[in-house]
Structure 1
Amino acid sequence: MCNGASFVNVLLVDDHELFRSGLKFLLADLVENISFFEAPSCAVAIELAAKSKFDIVLLDLHLPGVSGLDALALLRERIEEAIIVVVSAEEDRGVIHQIIEAGAAGYIPKASSHAIMMAALRLVLAGGVYLPAHTIAAKLPSQESSTENSHQTAIKNLTERQIATLRIAMQGKANKVIARELNISEATVKAHLSSVFRVLGVRNRTEAVFAAAKIGLYL
């Protein structure tokens, strides 16, 4: 879990105050000790990040000012230690794929039930990735011959260091952050990820995330 303990700082980035209030109510029991911070825009979120450290950011894509994938990319750059999960109304698989590609650790539809929301965030905090079922039902081009069993078997062929690298990569964090957290070089991070992709039969970290979500993987 974040911080290695049951204390989590959550930043809610959504321009609808009522929705933010609802999220706080729904997620109050996510962990034993949880603190919520609120931002109605990307700009305010960055201001808050300069003063506080966040474990997880819940981001709506439709914001005033900088929004959409631009907002996600900016927050990924400025709040690089945090896990970012998009909570929005998008249903298009292509857009959700782009969200993961831009560095999100998961995507939760706004229409999700309380139970799904809690389960999704607990999975993310445990080092996993959550995606709606309809986004992972179809196989990716490089996975046409792959099966869930083959991915599960492949995981067993990874070293502890490769698994540790994959775990942080699944959170959407940049190679420099992975290197810092594992106290290794960026070149070593790239080597570990290349080995992971080869073992899993995927081409990049985005496909690795989808493969992990498909088998319900958390490491």
Structure 2
Amino acid sequence: MAPDESVLNVNANGNLPQDGPSSAGAGKASAVVRVLLADDHALLRDGIRPFLTDLGEHVEIMEAVDFDSALAQASEHSPDLLLLDLKMPGMAGVETVSAFRKACPEVPVVIITGQVLREDVLRAMELGASGYLPKAMSGASFVHALRLILSGQPYFSAHLLSPGGGDGEAAQAQHHGGRFADLTNREIQVLSLLVRGESNKEIGLHLGLTEITVKSHMRSIFKKIGAANRTQAVAMAIQHGISA
């Protein structure tokens, strides 16, 4: 089955909807954000947990270490976000997404995985997952992707959906086609630091540029990629495979 274009339009084209975040996600910054982190590796959970606290002023994190406990908690508590490892005990690969979608259809299911396979990404979309995130992505990119998902927008990197996208180093390589093709190397550097969350002053110090020069690069980047502001530029960059 071919991916639904209504799912792809935000991420594959690099566009954000003009109406802004959905009403369901608009209040996340002030409300309690409940996240269920389902992964059987304690070290990975410990590494992810600090980034989850950046999703809102108040973040409640639940944890599960296998399929049964993850499904039970998701069904009972109906969290705002479910982060699901495909390799936990009891899991049946990407097909397990359907069990969570059936048990708690209102909960966005986000796959976090160390092995990225294009066919799994496409199948996850078909089954109704809201995102597919490689564990190797940067923390800043991870947080931005989750914020998009909480706002009601699915996140599937355009690079992972392209032929040849997926496993290994290629999954993390920068992919600058389309509207990003006209960016200069310096603009790519500036945009990468923006994705990392650096301010204009920090970007200038990092690259040896004045803040005025950084602002000039920003204006040029926004114009070339069609971004209205920093937040949209970061979202589009992440969706296009530009990482911090």
The TM tier, using the shorter chain, reads 0.5 to 0.7
Contact 1:137 1:214 in 2 (8 A): no
User: Partners of 1:4 and 1:133 in 2: how far apart?
Assistant: 25
Q: 1:3 to 1:214 in 2, by over 3 A?
A: closer
TM-score by length of 1: 0.59
Contact 1:57 1:85 in 2 (8 A): yes
Q: 2:101 aligns with which of 49, 67, 76?
A: 76
Q: 1:131 aligns with which of 152, 156, 170?
A: 156
Q: 1:130 to 1:3 in 2, by over 3 A?
A: closer
Structure 1 segment 129-208 matched on structure 2, within 5 A: 129-137=154-162
Structure 1 segment 3-82 matched on structure 2, within 5 A: 5-6=27-28, 7-82=32-107
Contact 2:157 2:239 in 1 (8 A): no
User: Partners of 1:51 and 1:136 in 2: how far apart?
Assistant: 33
Q: By how many angstroms is 1:3 displaced?
A: 6.3
**Partner-residue secondary structure (3-state), 1:129:** coil
User: Partners of 2:153 and 2:112 in 1: how far apart?
Assistant: 16
Q: By how many angstroms is 1:116 displaced?
A: 0.6
Contact 2:25 2:152 in 1 (8 A): no
Report sequence identity in percent. 34
**Partner-residue secondary structure (3-state), 1:59:** strand
Contact 2:33 2:60 in 1 (8 A): yes
TM-score by length of 2: 0.53
User: Partners of 1:3 and 1:95 in 2: how far apart?
Assistant: 27
Q: 1:92 aligns with which of 117, 123, 126?
A: 117
User: Partners of 2:117 and 2:133 in 1: how far apart?
Assistant: 13
Paired position in structure 1 for 2:193: none
Letter in 2 for 1:33: H
Contact 2:25 2:151 in 1 (8 A): no
**Partner-residue secondary structure (3-state), 2:95:** helix
Structure 1: give runs of 5+ residues left out of the alignment.
Answer: 139-147, 150-212
User: Partners of 1:133 and 1:50 in 2: how far apart?
Assistant: 31
Contact 2:110 2:131 in 1 (8 A): yes
Paired position in structure 2 for 1:200: none
CA offset digits 1:62-110 (Å, max 9, x no partner): 1111331232111111121101111112322111111111110111100
**Partner-residue secondary structure (3-state), 1:111:** coil
**Partner-residue secondary structure (3-state), 1:62:** coil
Structure 1 segment 85-124 matched on structure 2, within 5 A: 85-124=110-149
Q: How large is the Cα RMSD of the aligned pairs?
A: 2.6
**Partner-residue secondary structure (3-state), 1:77:** helix
User: Partners of 1:50 and 1:134 in 2: how far apart?
Assistant: 33
Contact 1:55 1:82 in 2 (8 A): yes
Letter in 2 for 1:69: V
Q: How many residues align?
A: 145
User: Partners of 2:111 and 2:78 in 1: how far apart?
Assistant: 18
Q: 1:4 to 1:134 in 2, by over 3 A?
A: closer
Letter in 2 for 1:92: L
